[in-house]
Amino acid sequence: MPQSGHSPARKPVPNPSGVHFLASHSIAESLISFCSPGPADLVVDFGAGFGAITAPLARTGARVIAVERDPAFARKLSKRVSQHPNVRVVTADARSFPLPRKDFLVVANIPYSISTALLRRLLTPKVTALRRAALIVEWGFAKRLTTSVPRTKELAWWAGRFDLSLERRVPARCFRPAPTVDSAQLNIRRRAGLGRSAERALWALLEAAYRAPARSVRATVAELTGRKPHRALKSCGIDPAAPAGSVSPRQWATLAIALDGNSQPSER
């Protein structure tokens, strides 16, 4: 819900913690709707605060782990969800909380200051059990993550293994206190068809592309595979003569799947 009762002349309330609590039921429901958790699912809510997302998650019947760093917030949240045995509140830092080893979902309003660190924990490791996530992040950060061709190899690795999509802009008025910039709903879905060997091929392709972005895709792939890649590139919708740095992570992932089993790319 938007904030109310604030005079235009009133100075912003000091917010030394930098925490902005979600105050929109519709945004919380949109996040949960994307992940569609049910009784068989495990969901992690990072930066749970007072439970704007945890409470509706509890009603889905999914097993919920609410991670909150502030002990006072965690105590209040524990009381709020005490009637839901499927919810466990953990007082911990999202940057060090042990991630589940079995398939899990993430639905969370992430503090701006830890966005990169948390995404790196979720999306960078060779082995990750993350299946889907719906996150609130800073608007500019979401735009950088969902650009067609990311600026860095790490961002391309994320976008190659996972489908990253900017679902909607989340206005600053949806938080209390309101931040100085708008946020975004970032949806993350594990890309289908990428097995472990295909992921190794993807990493090798990205490493080569970002090392020599002006080099043609044909030359880049030929050097990695020792084969003429023209037909494989065409089947994946990639122009063989295009610079390697112009190819999107989605296209690299499609090519990695096509090459899987037919080439021996370098190990990550």
Model confidence, pTM: 0.89
| Residues 6+ positions from 158 with CB-CB distance below 8 Å | 119, 123, 124, 145, 150, 164, 249
Q: Torsions phi, psi of 55, nearest 5?
A: -60, -50
Q: What percent of the chain has pLDDT over 70?
A: 90
Confidence of residue 167 (pLDDT cuts 50, 70, 90): very high
pLDDT higher than threshold 80 for residue 41: yes
Task: Write the pLDDT tens digit of every residue in 188-203.
Answer: 999 999 999 999 999 9
pLDDT higher than threshold 50 for residue 42: yes
Residue pair 40/102 in contact by the 8 Å Cβ criterion: no
Q: Torsions phi, psi of 71, nearest 5?
A: -60, -35
Strand partners, 63: 42
Mean pLDDT of 169-176: 97
Residue pair 192/218 in contact by the 8 Å Cβ criterion: no
Mean pLDDT of 114-138: 96
**Distance between alpha carbon 201 and the CA centroid of its chain, in Å?**
22
Positive or negative: CA dihedral 43, 92, 99, 210: positive
**Nearest CA-CA partner of 162 in 127, 197, 131, 205:** 131
Task: Write the pLDDT tens digit of every residue in 243-258.
Answer: 999 999 999 999 999 9
Query: Which two structure tokens, joined as six digits, stand for 180?
Result: 């100085």
Distance CA 62, CA 123 (A): 22
Within 10 angstroms of residue 180's Cβ, the number of other Cβ atoms is: 7
Q: What pLDDT sits at residue 19?
A: 80
Q: What pLDDT sits at residue 261?
A: 61
- The region of weakest confidence among 15-24, 123-132, 216-225, 232-241 is 15-24
Task: Write the pLDDT tens digit of every residue in 53-90.
Answer: 999 999 999 999 999 999 999 999 999 999 999 999 99
Distance CA 154, CA 248 (A): 13
**Nearest CA-CA partner of 204 in 168, 160, 167, 170:** 160
pLDDT higher than threshold 50 for residue 8: no
**Nearest CA-CA partner of 28 in 50, 5, 6:** 50
Query: Which two structure tokens, joined as six digits, stand for 19?
Result: 């925490």
Angle at 24 between CA 47 and CA 15, to 5 degrees: 55
